[in-house]
Amino acid sequence: MKTFNTGGIHPPESKFTGNSAIEVMPLPAELAIPMNQHLGKPAKPIVKLNDEVKKGQLIGEADGFISANVHASTSGKIKAIKSHPHPGGQYAMTIFITPDGKDEWAEGLDTVAADWKRFSKDEILKKIKDAGIVGMGGAGFPTNVKLSPPPDKKIDTIILNGAECEPFLTADHRLMVESAEQVVIGMEIMASLLPAPVKLAIGVESNKPDAIAALEKFAAPKQIEVVSLKTKYPQGAEKQLINAITGRKVAEGELPFDKGCIVQNIGTAAAVFDAVCRNRPLIERVLTVSGMEITQRKNISARIGTGFKDIIAFCGSMSDKTNQVISGGPMMGKAIFSLDVPVVKTTSGILFINNRSLDKSRERTCIRCGRCVEVCPQGLAPWLLANTAQLKQFDEIQLIGLANCTECGSCTYVCPSGRELVHWIKYAKALVSSRQKRKSA
């Protein structure tokens, strides 16, 4: 079985919802749609207060090259445009829509499934861009940008990331089981955009045999390889996935392009199918609601902009012992600071947990056990990075591979002294970039 070659951990999988079918969540009473649901510049709002919008209508326009369109998730009236908490931890300009209940599609959208081969490359790329599709694994890089690599980079492999190595999350898993055909077609569409024919591979962790079987059925006739990967975190991290499937190593400062690879998420492939064949922009996504402190754990399909409170109501209730609500997975997600935050394009899950290790003084002295070095998938020395960050040596820290850290969290997970290694690294990254900004200013 294939896997990446350095480090990795085996956290308890806790995938409670692997067998529960995706439930469609009813339309909430209000939708809050943030303008930055992607990497890059936030979209520009192009609607005004009290405007009537239709489902799928463009309400935020991509602003610049690395940016993405944002659409109304249902038909209704614009209630407010203001700054609002975002699941990423910050505030963001957000458009509030009061649904009119009709859920009417805007003209020309949601057509009968068409054969994508009718469209030219430019048409497909434009459809993907117009639909506002971004990487749905968590980073949210605009997909159309990712699919137009610089001409000097020769791409020979497209990898679809079905590893879903984060504990608890099963959204991609269910999508692979229930919409295997759409996922495979979405992948074909993406591959067709590249100048030369490429190798296609779908990487799935071996703990999802039903997903592998479902994909095989559609993938085999189309020469797409479904690769069973060892269940090990962070198997689904871009660099580790490339290493596991192709054996290539993406070095510091390099992008997957440089090694001839493009990695796309399962959800992204399904969204590409919807956009190209059915003219449906990205207005809903599948996510996992789980954790020990929610009564009904589910996989749900929710509209972008659905508030976390509505989701809690839909999934029973959360217990009083909850002390953290996490947007994303437990290894790389964000603890939200307000329950007002909405679901965005990159929300792969919502977890309700009672984190017992929370304590201001939880960090203790390093006993040099070397576990962090052992598990680091990037071959770094996290303890050294954290110590250097604590000493505020921000020139020194760049020499020992700060930029190479992918913040997977494996080191913090294993540290017996409870040190917040990733957080220190993140802190150093923030200060290094702020110093650079000031220097150039």
Partner 1 sequence: MNMISDAFLPAVSSLGAVALALGIIIHYVSKKFHVEDDPTVKLVNGILPGVNCGACGFPSCGQFAEVLVETRNPAMTCPVGGADLAAKLGETLGMAMAEPKPQTAVVLCQGNNDVARQSAEYLGIQDCWAATQAFAGPKQCRYSCLGLGSCIAWCDFGAMRLENGLIVIDKDLCTGCAACIPACPTGVLVMQNKQAARYFIACNSHDKGAGTKKACDAGCIACQKCVKVCEDNAIVIDNFLARIVQDKCTACGKCIEVCPTKVNCIRLENDLNAVKQKQAS
Partner 2 sequence: MDSVKLKVSYAPFVHTKDSIESVMYNVALALAPATVMSIYLFGMPALLVTVICIVSCIGFEWLMDTIRKKPASCLDGSAFVTGLLLALNVPSNLPIWMLVVGSFIAIAAAKHVFGGLGHNIFNPALVARVFLLVSFPAAMTSWPVPFSIDMQTAASPLGILKTDGVEAAMKSLDLMNGFYGTMNGSMGETSALALLAGAAWLFYKRYITIYIPFTMLGSVLLFSAIFHMIDPSAYAPPLFHLVTGGLILGAFFMATDMVTSPLSIRGQVIFGLGCGLLTAVIRLWGGYPEGVSFAILIMNGFVPLIDNWDLNERKAIHQKKSEKK
Binding residue for partner 2 (CB under 8 A) from 90, 323, 390, 436?
323
| Binding string, residues 339-378; x marks residues near partner 1 by CB under 8 A | -------------------xxx-xx---------------
Are 31 and 99 in contact, with CB atoms under 8 Å apart?
A: yes
Stretch that binds partner 2, among 31-39, 169-177, 183-191, 321-329 (CB under 8 A): 321-329
263 sits near partner 2 (criterion: CB under 8 A): no
CA-CA distances (angstroms) from residue 27 to 74, 98, 311? 8, 10, 11
- Cα–Cα–Cα angle for 267, 272, 275, rounded to 5 degrees: 125
Which pair of tokens denotes residue 181? Answer: 């055909």
Least Å from the CB of residue 208 to partner 1? 31
The strand pair at 199-205 and 225-229 is best described as parallel
Total residue length of the chain: 441
430 binds partner 2 (CB under 8 A): no
Question: Could you say whether residue 214 binds partner 2 (CB under 8 A)?
Answer: no
Say if residues 40 and 104 touch (Cβ distance below 8 Å): no
116 or 413: CB nearest partner 2 = 413
Burial of 279 (0-12, 13-18, 19+ CB in 10 A): buried
Q: Work out whether 89 is an interface residue with partner 1 (CB under 8 A).
A: yes
> Which of 43, 99, 140, 94 is closest to 347 using CA atoms?
140
Binding mask 74-113 for partner 2 (x = CB under 8 A): ---------------x------------------------
The Cα–Cα gap between 110 and 116 comes to 15
Stretch of 18-26, 50-58, 85-93, 213-221 lying at the interface with partner 1 (CB under 8 A): 85-93
| Contact characters 132-171, partner 2, x per CB under 8 A | -----------------------------------x----
Closest contact distance (angstroms) between CB of 82 and partner 1 is 8
Which stretches of the chain bind partner 2, using CB under 8 A? 11-12, 89, 167, 251-253, 309, 312, 317-318, 320, 322-326, 328, 330-339, 351, 353, 355, 357-358, 364-371, 373, 381, 383-384, 398-401, 407, 409, 412-418, 420, 422-423, 426
